[in-house]
Amino acid sequence: MNTPAGRQAKILEWLSAEGSLRLSDLAARLGVSQMTVHRDTAALAERGALVKTHGAVQQPALATRMLRLCPACSTPIVDRLRFSFSSGHGGRQREACCGHCALLLATSDEEFATLLATDFLYGRVTSAAEAIYVLGSRVTACCKPSVLPFLTGEDARDFAAAFGGEVLPLSEVRGRLA
């Protein structure tokens, strides 16, 4: 629980059970500073997983909450980073919070044939096989190493020039994460 993802999962668990929590109580429960709690809750608020108020957090209103958790890391799935694919077992639709988790979850060639990625810059959905990826940039939108898809090689190269990482096709990213 000493990682941001672990703390955030625990915060969501407690929030689900209690409805609202004071930031000072979270810091004490987690054994971390209030600044660490502030950063963790800010990240969760940005994803829509909770609402921050002065000195506290609460669950979003049920009518506005569409919280889906990644089956690989339990991070809330946001459309801007989402990957989706069909399972080879009955065509069941599956989702992951990011490219890193999608590549860990999708294991068969059939699943990779239906893998869809969301372009990091423009939010457009594209075939994951056609996207170009930046692996391991300084921008970690979700899991590490970051796997960020781009619609064009030019966009990927420009992003990597500014934020680091390697520009790779899907096949090479798969090989690196395997």
Is residue 8 scored above 60 in pLDDT? yes
Residue 69 counted as domain residue: no
**Do 96 and 138 belong together in one domain?**
yes
From start to end of the chain, where are the E strands?
20-22, 51-53, 56-58, 83-86, 93-96, 116-118, 125-127, 132-135, 147-150, 166-169
Average pLDDT score over residue span 32-42: 91
Average pLDDT score over residue span 34-60: 86
Confidence of residue 75 (pLDDT cuts 50, 70, 90): confident
Name the residue range of residue 153's domain. Answer: 83-177
Quote the number of domains for the chain. Answer: 2
**Do 124 and 43 belong together in one domain?**
no
Domain boundary among 41, 58, 75: 58
Residue 131 amino acid letter: A
CATH code for the domain in which residue 44 is found: 1.10.10.10
**Do 19 and 88 belong together in one domain?**
no
d(CA 33, CA 118): 34
Residue 66 counted as domain residue: no
At 148 the pLDDT is 95
**Do 27 and 91 belong together in one domain?**
no
At 46 the pLDDT is 80
At 173 the pLDDT is 95
Could you say which DSSP state residue 92 is in? Answer: -
Give the best-scoring range by mean pLDDT among 37-41, 102-106, 159-163: 159-163
Average pLDDT score over residue span 116-122: 91
**Do 90 and 142 belong together in one domain?**
yes
Residue 73 counted as domain residue: no
d(CA 125, CA 18): 36
At 99 the pLDDT is 92
Is residue 15 scored above 60 in pLDDT? yes
Average pLDDT score over residue span 126-153: 92
Predicted TM-score (pTM) of this structure? 0.62
**Do 95 and 23 belong together in one domain?**
no
Residue 74 counted as domain residue: no
Is residue 63 scored above 70 in pLDDT? no
Residue 107 counted as domain residue: yes
